Structure 1
Amino acid sequence: MLADLGAEVIKIEKISGGDDARAFNNSGTPNEMPASFQMINRGKKSVAIDIRTEEGRMLLLRLVKDADILTENFRPGTLQRLGLGPDVLRKENPRLICVSVSGYGPKGPMADHGGFDLVLQAFSGLISVTGEADRPPVKPGVPIADINAGVMAALGALAAYVHRLRTGEGQWVQTSLLQVSVQQLYWYAALFFSAGKLPERLGTAHPIIAPYQTYRCADGDLAIGGGNDTNWRKICKVLERPEWENDVRFATPKSRLENRAALESALNSVLAMRTRAAWEHAFIVAGVPVGPVQTVDEALNHAQTRAVGMVIDVDNANGGTAQAIGLPLHFNGENKPARTAAPFLGEHTRELLSTIGVGPEDYTSLCSAGVCLGYEGSSALPDQASGGAEAFTVQIA
């Protein structure tokens, strides 16, 4: 995200294999950089350093002297044990913004526990409210905890950057998979705090609004947002069921919620008479928010998705070009996401160490000693130096 916003991002990786995500290859083609790794690492540079060594630690300290932001996602206390805690880093660079992402947060009885997206979705209660009422809970199809933690870390980093512009002071920003997952419980937490009500799994339905879920048409599912009385009256008109407006079961938001099952059955029985596209058109004309339940390929290929720049062409580290998810922000009607390829492990080690005074002989010696690793392979891609970066970010993977 920060690379998409114009930052020069340097990814510090361990010399043995680098970021674990480099091994998550489901393309079936060995020795190629996985598409999944490329998706979230385009626009970055890679420096491979063993920060467990004294020499590696000193190299990192020299790199952060001119950095604006450093991000890391070790367990709390790991960098401190390596002699690279925020106090040490900010002694080298008082303006440095340190951003830490952990599993369970910076304090508490479980702060030192490891955590992955799945684990914290479960622990936070997210999985317990996902799925159908009469079936076991399920994990959402996307890594909500991981993605939200990244978004919140970026938000915190930028807020700290604004603070630094005003005060000249760096900050230590901390977030966790637990915190961002619990944050997603807004509606369910409101029900629990106000009435002590334990949330139920509702499939695609909303805990306090009806009709507000997916319904079955003749050839597919359609999401209908009837979040208020105005939309409900429009729905009744589109479905040619004016009597529903005064039906005691459906006449008010409260009665519709209390009779959700009957409402769902009634809607499904009418919607089954026509195609999804026909109903979608009718509801749109009436001003009712609706959307088809699309497959991933349908969503990515849809004209609207393309129009807002959410599918972009980028350089492919394996040669040629590839498609990637774009930047979900526009500034004055434009966005300019990073399009350079994700880096090979250590691809920029030599280049960036030279900027902190490591000459050719020292570089060779450090590589021979296992302190750092370079990438000497040939690449058809252009040099990834950004030149015009607004911020300099170091990311430890």
Structure 2
Amino acid sequence: MPHKQAKRGGNSQVVSGLINANPTGYAGNLLISNPAGSTVGSGGFAGNYDITYTPGNLIVNKAVLTANSVAIDSLSLNGANFGNGLAVLGLINVTPKVLSFNDLGITGTTKPYDGSVYMTGLALTTSPGAFFNGDNVSALATGTFSTQNVGANLGYTVGITFSGAGASASNYVVSGGAVYVAGAGGNGPANGEITQLNSVTDTGPNGGNWSNPASWTTTGTSIVGAVPTQSPVGLVGVGTPNVANVIIPVGKNVVYDAAVGMPITSAVEDNGNLAINLPSAATLAMPISGVGSVTIMNTGAVTLSGNNSFTGGTTINSGATLIAGSNNAIAAGNIQSNGGLFGTASGGVTLVAVNATGSMTLLSSITTTGTQSYGDLRLATTAAGLNASMAGANTISLTTQNANISLLGTVDGQPLRRNRY
């Protein structure tokens, strides 16, 4: 309840009244009384009026009320009994203006993949008239997508806050609460989108895990964190790569680990070393190019089924298994085996060549268009899903279409009299 006070000697003339205020208009009654309590005049805040007080000749032509103050316009104080000022005492309760999400205009619901769910481009395009002139206030939005992966028609959640000088921010609220949910049962349709990132480069610690966000920088920028993983959106069981191209620089070694999740199909330019370290079987269809090498580690059988052209060769560690699932799975065919296992998938896989050194266990029959050469070999019974010999599953055949086959070591521990066929 505000009070207006005019000085008269040692006494006061009090202007008092109850004001019910809201941001879209102000209305109320102004009551003027003298110290003895007799009413001398009244008027409404909604329009122009005159108030006269006698004796003392207080004349008020118009009252003006704003959201944060009360003012008297065209004030005339006549007579010796009044000073030159009018004091306003008290508080005004203002009912906040209610804004809709349409008033706020949420934009920025699309972004390129960055490895996080955060809506980094989120913005508000507040409609004209949403805020009253003179209110130093702004609306801020923060939000998250329902997933971090590439996809369209994604759900998201946006939170709205108001900020401003003084108490201006408290003059506004959002209808239904300050949280907008896009998607089923929410405030609007699921129209969010995360688009595929073009390229990342391994800039992390040497030997770091593929799944570590610190390993990857968006190529040509200083932005770190976009792990090249696979989105489940797309072809069932295959999905879509969140990053189109992955670059492993010269001298870098990155470990493709189980935490990567769904096998990726990004194109990999390997100029260093790609170490595949999986505890369970997986098929990797990513095409691998570059001058680098590939190392197979751990006990999970790795099937390479991409159109590969890397030139640095393949290493199979002790106890590790590599299955060639495409004609170019091992590129030019150079293999260094340290007690590893190797075979080809069934379905007519014909390799370019196999030039293997070290000890290796063959899991299947091998067919090449070019040469085959081996160090120490052990022959295993062909497993299900692998290339079997025409002579039966218990027989392993080595076949070349137009070149030599060289056995340069032992077979099942026994030296051969003839080593070239």
Give TM-score, length-normalised by structure 1.
0.18
Give TM-score, length-normalised by structure 2.
0.17
Which of the two has higher C-alpha Rg?
2
* Structure with the higher fraction of residues in helix conformation: 1
